[in-house]
Amino acid sequence: VCREARDGTCGRHAEKVRADRAGAGERIDKQRKSETGRIVKAAKTCEEVVDGAPDQAGKCAKGKCISIGENRVCTQCGKMATEAPKNGVCTNLTSDTAVCATKDSGKCTKCAGDSFMYKGGCYERSDSLGATICEAANSNGVCTAAKPGYFVPPSDTDASHDSIVSCGDTTGVTLNTKTYIGVAGCTTCDKPTVASDNTPKAATCTACGDGKLVKTVDSVTSCVEEADCNNGYFVDTNGEKKCSACANTCKTCSGAEANQCTSCQDTDKKYLKKDSPTDSTGTCVAAAGCTDGNYIDEAAKTCSTCASAGTTGCKTCVKKDGVVTCTSCEDSQKFGLNKKSCLAKCPTNSQTGSDSVCKCNDGFTPSEDSTACTQCHSSCLTCSAAGESSCTACTEGTHFLGATSGQTGKCISCGDATGSGDWKGVTGCAKCTKPNTAGAATCTECTGDLYLKTDGSTTSCVAAEQCNNGFFPNDSVDGKKKCLPCSDNANGGIENCAECSLLPSASRSSTVLVTCTKCENSKYLKSDGSGCVDDASGCASGTEFPKEDTEKGNRCVSCGDQTDGIADCKTCSKTDTTLKCSACTLDTKKPNATGTACVACSITDCASCDKENVCTKCDDSKIVKTAAGVTSCVTEAQCTGAEGFFVKTNGSTETCEACGDENCATCAVEGNSKCSKCKTTGDKTYLKVESGSTGTCVEASQCGPAAFPKDDSESGNKCVSCGDTTNGITNCTECTAPAQGKTKPACTKCTGKYLKTAPDGTTTCVEQGECTSDSFPVTNAQTGNKCLSCGDETSGVPNCVKCAAPASAGGKPACSECGSGYKLEGGACVSTGANLSSGAIAGIFITAVVVMGGLVGFLCWWFLCRGKA
């Protein structure tokens, strides 16, 4: 009972409920006219709750809408506390229990009257939707007879469970411990028999949807695609189209009879035997059932007649290696060509062999159907067919068969390098032998002026000029032209020779045709190319020496060899890697001091030379001097007395060497590029010391900024350090050359001190406190600290003569006294003569001096004259 509230809430709620019910009824009962004008019921719809509002009246919970035919119905309502599906529509059943007797969580849990339960809702038999799935219902909430497409479980139905199941519902319903289900894809069915406990029992499908066929296996039905109706089944179009089983011996078939097999099961009866070769089906038989005029094809698993394989007259036949041949003939007959038939007489150009089989004569081969002998291709000696690729034998010596033993192929000319497949001849070859495997033939003789070359297992025919790189041509070896290895000493080569060249005709002997240029197996080549010796000990002592060379080969080199020996050397010796000449071939030359060359020597007092007229050792008491590439012999005193030279000691040897710097007058013995004194001529006459007392000669302008040029005619001009305590300015780090008339430089930057410049231009580096009353300190780490004049035009107070340091960095000094003619006003010095020019001021000054002079003269006269009086 709703009692009226003062704010009218109860009244508005009642109106909303009536509106909801009216809307639901309208959705269910609304009628529309069809295109024919007949009044029909509209299909029901199912609307789900929106996100965020699950408790909406008259709407289905998320994902709980299903289809029944063209209708969409709800299986669980969103407003779970008060609503449940009635005839597929969410309805407030708080007080309405005539159809849905009990409910819970938005579902009906028990149906009443002539309604029945289906998928969480109660459906009335009298409702149009309930009538589409249920044929009859009792008064206890149970459907007792189903409409087509549905079935009623055979037992245990009650008002609290679904009493009807769709033929395609694979979930079904469980009643007590028995489960009943439909068949996937099934549209009509017969209900199942009573199920066993805990074992689902499926309906028997009688029709499938989506073009699928009903397939029955061991009394169990399923819906399959037509393409999947195979492996012992076939598409049965007799009556309702379905997937029916073949006879038990068939793997595939076109009908249910035993003679309608198209392939057989892998059992003892696995061979398909057809009554006629043109039949599309046959019977499955065992091997014993395939005899007399038939043969078994193991690959195809068939039993076929001998005649179907193209044989004629066979009593029995067999298929082997893909070919069907006769195995026996009738009496008085013999086997035809290739045993493909049984004949009374062999064909033309054939004869009977010892095995009673007809064989074609040489040069002929059986025709494709083995009924006649046809002539072989002109290139074949014998063949298996008429084509050029069907040869079985070739003309020996000049041709070979391009196929492995027992196979057919082309007859290839010995000179045909194109060949057939991988079987090839050799260009320019006249005679050859067949290779053991596919590849190039082995040539035994070449055509014309070509030479037969054998390199390992490979043969080729080459011209004389191509017979090199370890080979040489010989025009007559067993009457043939051959390109032979250099090591073939039996036919004009040299034993153990790896590379060679032909000797001129006049130099050849009956046994040697070549000169060797490289030996094999690390042996040593004689210097004249006449042979190879086993090791270095085989080289001629005194006139040859051994040389190891992994690239060009080991050799015995003559002492005078232009490349590896010593030119013009006659005799020599070699220790380790050092070659030393002991005598030269020319009287005008002799070995140098190290024995590495034969050179001419014409330098006075020279004991030995290196290269032509380049002295390497002088007579006793003299040393070698080298000046501008020219050598001479001088005394030590002559060396040190020459400008730009010094005596260099190297072990026990002394030489006179030029300084490394052309500007040096004298230089250090060690590191001769460092001067100790510079020449007085040229631009670079100042010594800039770099280490100790030595350095580099530079121009005067190159001394700075840390040094200044100082002339010294005795010790030599030098770059003197700005801070030199004798000639420079103490604590000065950068300076310029002394001004005219000055002996010391002008400092431009001090080290940690303050640069002070006197009125006469003299500079000093002082402490900050020494910037006295006429100057003030300015600190600058980059340009250097300075004592600036109080009257400095930039940083000071113009015309100021006394001042105090600025109160802050970068500020102006505090002026305390101005210069003559100026007075201090507001920290600045202003002129006292206002508009007087400097000329006027000078005139006044001169006049004052004259007046003062006259006055002094007068007084002197006065006192002197008056005193005498």
What's the pLDDT tens digit per position in 523-576? 999 999 999 999 999 999 999 999 999 888 999 999 999 988 999 999 999 888
Does the pLDDT at position 62 exceed 70?
A: yes
User: What does the block give as tokens for 585?
Assistant: 């071939």
Q: What is the CA radius of gyration of the chain?
A: 65
Q: How confident is the model over 124-150, as a mean pLDDT? A: 95
> If pLDDT is split at 50, 70 and 90, which confidence band does 423 have?
very high
Q: What is the pLDDT of residue 627?
A: 86
Nearest alpha-carbon partner for 238 in 221, 257, 264 = 257
Given strand 121-124, what is the order of strands in its sheet? 89-92, 83-86, 121-124, 115-118
Q: Which helix (H) or strand (E) holds 65?
A: strand 65-68
Share of the chain above pLDDT 90, in %: 58
Q: What is the pLDDT of residue 808?
A: 84
**Residue 602 reports pLDDT greater than 80:** no
Three-class DSSP category at 637: helix
Q: In this structure, what is the dihedral angle of CA atoms 698, 701, 704, 707, given to the nearest 10 degrees?
A: 70
Q: Are 166 and 148 in contact (CB under 8 A)?
A: no
The pLDDT assigned to 362 comes to 82
Q: Per-residue pLDDT tens for 115-133? A: 999 999 999 999 999 999 9
Residues 289-294: what's their mean pLDDT?
Answer: 89
What does the pLDDT read at residue 43? 78
Percentages helix, strand, coil for the chain (3-state, rounded to 5) are 10, 40, 50
**pLDDT tens, position by position, 689-709:** 888 888 899 998 999 899 999
pLDDT higher than 90, residue 504? yes
Strand extents, DSSP E, 414-496 = 429-433, 442-446, 451-455, 458-462, 471-477, 480-485
| Tokens 């009692």 -> residue | 3
pLDDT-based confidence at 67, cuts 50/70/90? very high
CA angle 350, 352, 356 (to 5 degrees): 145
Least confident of 8-17, 211-220, 343-352, 571-580: 8-17
Query: Higher confidence at residue 433 or residue 857?
Result: 433
Q: pLDDT tier at 42 (50, 70, 90 boundaries)?
A: low
Residue 453: per-residue pLDDT: 97
Sign of torsion over alpha carbons 83, 84, 89, 94 = negative
Q: Which residue has the higher pLDDT, 772 or 850?
A: 772
For the beta carbon of residue 526, count every other beta carbon within 10 angstroms: 20
Give the residue with greater pLDDT, 185 vs 834.
Answer: 185
Mean pLDDT, rounded, for 81-85: 95
Give the pLDDT confidence score for residue 29 in this predicted structure. 38
Q: Between 618 and 500, where is the model more confident?
A: 500
| Beta pairing class for 754-757 and 786-789 | parallel
Q: Name the pLDDT band for 853 (thresholds 50, 70, 90).
A: low
Residue 839 has pLDDT above 90, yes or no: no
* pLDDT of the residue at 809: 79
Average pLDDT over residues 455-469: 95
Query: How confident is the model at residue 618, as a pLDDT?
Result: 83
pLDDT average, residue stretch 630-639:
90
CB 132 within 8 A of CB 152: no
Residue 584 has pLDDT above 50, yes or no: yes
Give the model's pLDDT for residue 138. 94
pLDDT over threshold 70, residue 867: no
Between 368 and 654, residue with greater pLDDT: 654
Contact between 244 and 236 under an 8 Å Cβ cutoff? The reply is yes
pLDDT averaged over every residue in the chain: 87
Average pLDDT over residues 295-316: 90
More confident of the two residues 586 and 821: 821
pLDDT above 60: residue 845: no
Cα–Cα distances (Å) from 752 to 188, 782, 783, 786, 834, in that order, read 114, 12, 12, 10, 44
Can you name the residues that pair with 580 across neighbouring β-strands?
A: 573
Q: 15 or 823, which is more confident?
A: 823
Owner of token pair 């340091």:
805
List, for residues 748-757, the tens digit of each pLDDT value.
999 989 999 8
Dihedral Cα 250, 251, 253, 258, nearest 10 deg? 0
Query: What's the average model confidence in pLDDT over 791-807?
Result: 91
Q: Is the pLDDT of residue 26 over 50?
A: no
Q: Does residue 12 register a pLDDT over 60?
A: no
Residues in the chain, total: 869
Once rounded to an integer, what is the mean pLDDT over residues 492-504? 95
